[in-house]
C-alpha cells in the first residue's frame, strides 16, 4: 500500500481537494470554495493522499473559549476505508486538538454515516447531543471523548 501523506491545506489544489472529500463524504452539507476558505481561516484543515490519490481529509476546530471542547472530524472515501487510514488521521488530528487546549475533545458525525458513529464510539466517544437542521431528515450527532 502506498505511503499516506497528510498535509495542511494551503494551495488552491488542496482547497479544492479538501472540499471534494468533504462534499462526497458529507453530501448533506455541501460547501462552496469560499466557504472552505472561510473555514480555513479558523480551523486546521488537512488533506490525505496515498501516492497521488486523494483518500480523505480532516478538520480540527479550536475550542470557542477555554470552557469549550476542540472538535476533530476525520473523513475517508468509502473505497479507501478499512485499511487503517481513518485511525492514522484520527491519531494525528487528536494530537493537533490536544495542543489547542480547551475543555475536552468532541466530534460531529452525520448520522447517516453509521460507520463513522461506530468508529467514534470505538475510539471512546459518547453521544452528548443531536442537531437536526431545518428541512433535513438526518441529524448531526455530537460525541465527546471520555
Ligand atoms: C469513520 C472513518 C473515518 C473510518 O475510516 P477508516 O479508514 O475505515 O478507519 P480505519 O480503517 O482506520 O479503522 C479504524 C478503526 O475503526 C473501526 N471501524 C472503522 N469503520 C468501522 C465500521 N464501519 N464499523 C465498525 N468499526 C469500524 C475499525 O475496525 C478500526 O478498529 P481497530 O483500530 O480496533 O482495528 C470513515 O468511515 C469515514 O470517513 N466515515 C464518514 C465520516 C465520519 O463519519 N467521520 C466521523 C468520525 S470522526
DSSP string of the chain, one letter each residue: -PPEEEEE--SHHHHHHHHHHHHHH-TTS---HHHHHHHHTTSEEEEEEETTEEEEEEEEEPPSSTTSPEEEEEEE-GGGTTSSHHHHHHHHHHHHHHTT-SS-EEEEEETT-HHHHHHHHHTTEEEEEEE--TT-SS-EEEEEE-
Question: What is the C-alpha separation between 143 and 146, in angstroms, rounded?
Answer: 9
**φ and ψ of 47, to 5 deg:** -120, 145
Q: What is the per-residue pLDDT for 37?
A: 98
* 11-15, 45-49, 132-136: the lowest-pLDDT one: 132-136
Average pLDDT, the chain: 95
Question: What is the C-alpha separation between 46 and 21, in angstroms, rounded?
Answer: 11
Q: What is the per-residue pLDDT for 29?
A: 86
CATH number of the CATH domain containing 112: 3.40.630.30
The closest-lying atom of ligand 1 relative to the alpha carbon of residue 107 is: 48
**pLDDT bracket for residue 28 (50, 70, 90):** confident
The closest-lying atom of ligand 1 relative to the alpha carbon of residue 113 is: 44
Of the candidates 104, 112, 103, 116, the one whose C-alpha atom is nearest the C-alpha of residue 58 is 116
* Gap from CA of 36 to ligand 1 centroid (Å): 24
Domain hosting residue 113, numbered range: 4-145
The reply to whether ligand 1 has any atom less than 6 angstroms from the CB of 116 is yes
**pLDDT bracket for residue 66 (50, 70, 90):** confident
| Contacts with 118 (C-beta within 8 Å, 6 or more apart), sequence order | none
Residue that is written with C-alpha cell 441529524 in the block: 139
Total of domains in the chain: 1
**φ and ψ of 113, to 5 deg:** -85, 75
The reply to whether ligand 1 has any atom less than 6 angstroms from the CB of 25 is yes
Tell me the HSE value of 129 on the side-chain side, using a 13 A CA sphere.
3
pLDDT digits (tens, 9 = 90+) for 83-125: 999 999 999 999 999 999 999 999 999 999 999 999 999 999 9
Amino acid at each position: 500500500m502506498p505511503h499516506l501523506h497528510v498535509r495542511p491545506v494551503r494551495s488552491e489544489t488542496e482547497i479544492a481537494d479538501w472540499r471534494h472529500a468533504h462534499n462526497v463524504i458529507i453530501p448533506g452539507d455541501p460547501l462552496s470554495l469560499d466557504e472552505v476558505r472561510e473555514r480555513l481561516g479558523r480551523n486546521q484543515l488537512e488533506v490525505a493522499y496515498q501516492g497521488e490519490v486523494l483518500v480523505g481529509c480532516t478538520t480540527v476546530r479550536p475550542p470557542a473559549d477555554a470552557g469549550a471542547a476542540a472538535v476533530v472530524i476525520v473523513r475517508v472515501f468509502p473505497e479507501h476505508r478499512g485499511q487503517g487510514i481513518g485511525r492514522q488521521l484520527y491519531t494525528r488530528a487528536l494530537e493537533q486538538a490536544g495542543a489547542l487546549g480547551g475543555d475536552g475533545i468532541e466530534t460531529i458525525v452525520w448520522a447517516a454515516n453509521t460507520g463513522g458513529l461506530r468508529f467514534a464510539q470505538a475510539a471512546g466517544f459518547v453521544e452528548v447531543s443531536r442537531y437536526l437542521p431545518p428541512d433535513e431528515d438526518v441529524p448531526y450527532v455530537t460525541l465527546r471523548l471520555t
